[in-house]
A and B are shown apart, each in its own frame.
Chain A
Amino acid sequence: MSIHSKTFKGIKVSAGIAIGKAVVISHTFKDMVVRRINPDEVEAEKNRFISAIRLITEQTDRLLAGMTPKELKKIGPHINVQKMILSDLRFAEDVLNIISSELVSSEVAVTRSLDRYLKQLSSKEKSSLNARSMDIKSIEFLLLRILSGKIRDVSILSEEFILVTHDITPTELYYYSKQRMIGLITESGGRNSHASIVARSLNIPAVAGIPGITQAINTADKVILDGIGGIVIVHPNQKQIAEYSEKRTSFCLLIESQQVNRQTEFLSRDGIRVSVLANIDFPEEVDIAKSLGADGIGLLRTEFYFIERPRTPSEEEQFKSYDYIAEKFYPKEVTIRTLDVGGEKIPGFISHQKEENPALGVRAIRFCLKNKNLFLSQIKAILRASYRGNVRILIPMISKMEEIIETRRLIEEAKQILTDENKRFDPNIKVGIMLEIPSIIFIMEDVAKHIDFFSLGTNDLIQFIMAADRGNIELFDSASSLSPPIIRVLYTIIEKARSLNKPIYVCGEMAAEEEDIVVLLGMGYRHLSMSPINIPIFMNIIKDIDIKKAEGLVKKIISFENDSDIIREVERFLSEKDNII
Chain B
Amino acid sequence: MKESDDSPKPGGEERKIRKVLTLKNQLGLHARAAAALVNIATKFRSDIQIQYNDETANCKSIMGILMLSAPFGAEIEIIIEGDDALQAMREIESLIENRFGEPE
> Which A residues fall within an 8 A CB radius of B?
77-78, 80-81, 84-85, 88-91, 117, 120-121, 124-125, 131-132, 135-136
A132, B35: Cβ atoms closer than 8 Å? no
Contacts A77-B32, A81-B35 given; indicate if A88 touches B62 (C-beta within 8 A). yes
Distance to closest chain B CB from A423 (angstroms):
24
A135, B38: Cβ atoms closer than 8 Å? no
Return chain B residues, CB-CB under 8 Å to A135: 30-31, 66
Return chain B residues, CB-CB under 8 Å to A136: 63, 66
Distance to closest chain A CB from B75 (angstroms):
16
Q: List 25 A-B contacts (CB under 8 A).
A: A77-B32, A77-B35, A78-B32, A80-B32, A80-B35, A81-B31, A81-B35, A84-B38, A85-B62, A88-B62, A90-B58, A91-B63, A117-B63, A117-B66, A121-B67, A124-B69, A125-B69, A131-B27, A131-B30, A131-B31, A132-B30, A132-B69, A135-B31, A135-B66, A136-B66
Q: Identify which of A81, A120, A124 contacts B32 (C-beta below 8 A).
A: A81
B31, A132: Cβ atoms closer than 8 Å? yes
In the assembled complex, B56 has its CB within 8 A of some CB on chain A? no
Identity of the chain B residue whose Cβ is nearest the Cβ of A91 in the assembled complex: B63
In the assembled complex, B51 has its CB within 8 A of some CB on chain A? no
Distance to closest chain B CB from A564 (angstroms):
55
Contacts A124-B69, A125-B69, A132-B69 given; indicate if A85 touches B63 (C-beta within 8 A). yes
Q: How far is B30's CA from A121's CA once the two chains are assembled, in angstroms?
A: 12
Q: How far is B62's CA from A90's CA once the two chains are assembled, in angstroms?
A: 9
Q: How far is B34's CA from A80's CA once the two chains are assembled, in angstroms?
A: 11
A90, B63: Cβ atoms closer than 8 Å? yes
Return chain A residues, CB-CB under 8 Å to B27: 131
In the assembled complex, B22 has its CB within 8 A of some CB on chain A? no
Return chain A residues, CB-CB under 8 Å to B35: 77, 80-81, 84
Identity of the chain B residue whose Cβ is nearest the Cβ of A77 in the assembled complex: B32
Q: Identify which of B30, B32, B34, B67 contacts A117 (C-beta below 8 A).
A: B67
Q: How far is B52's CA from A292's CA once the two chains are assembled, in angstroms?
A: 39
Identity of the chain B residue whose Cβ is nearest the Cβ of A122 in the assembled complex: B69
Distance to closest chain B CB from A23 (angstroms):
23
B67, A84: Cβ atoms closer than 8 Å? no
In the assembled complex, B82 has its CB within 8 A of some CB on chain A? no
Return chain A residues, CB-CB under 8 Å to B64: 90
Q: Identify which of B30, B32, B61, B69 contacts A88 (C-beta below 8 A).
A: B61
Distance to closest chain A CB from B87 (angstroms):
22
Q: How far is B63's CA from A121's CA once the two chains are assembled, in angstroms?
A: 11
Q: How far is B66's CA from A136's CA once the two chains are assembled, in angstroms?
A: 9
Q: Identify which of A77, A80, A88, A131 contacts B63 (C-beta below 8 A).
A: A88
| Residue in B30, B66, B67 with the greatest tally of chain A CB atoms within 10 Å | B66
Distance to closest chain B CB from A562 (angstroms):
57
Q: How far is B32's CA from A80's CA once the two chains are assembled, in angstroms?
A: 8
A120, B67: Cβ atoms closer than 8 Å? yes
Q: How far is B38's CA from A77's CA once the two chains are assembled, in angstroms?
A: 13
Q: How far is B27's CA from A85's CA once the two chains are assembled, in angstroms?
A: 19
Return chain B residues, CB-CB under 8 Å to A78: 31-32
Return chain A residues, CB-CB under 8 Å to B69: 121, 124-125, 132
Distance to closest chain B CB from A330 (angstroms):
23
Q: Identify which of B30, B34, B61 contacts A90 (C-beta below 8 A).
A: B61
Distance to closest chain B CB from A317 (angstroms):
14
Return chain A residues, CB-CB under 8 Å to B38: 84
Distance to closest chain A CB from B91 (angstroms):
18
Distance to closest chain A CB from B40 (angstroms):
12
Distance to closest chain B CB from A57 (angstroms):
14
- Taking A84-B62, A91-B63, A136-B66 as given, write out 13 further A-B residue pairs in contact, using a Cβ cutoff of 8 Å, ordered by the A residue number: A80-B32, A80-B35, A85-B63, A88-B63, A90-B63, A90-B64, A121-B67, A121-B69, A124-B69, A131-B27, A132-B30, A132-B31, A132-B66
Q: How far is B87's CA from A538's CA once the two chains are assembled, in angstroms?
A: 59
Identity of the chain A residue whose Cβ is nearest the Cβ of B100 in the assembled complex: A77
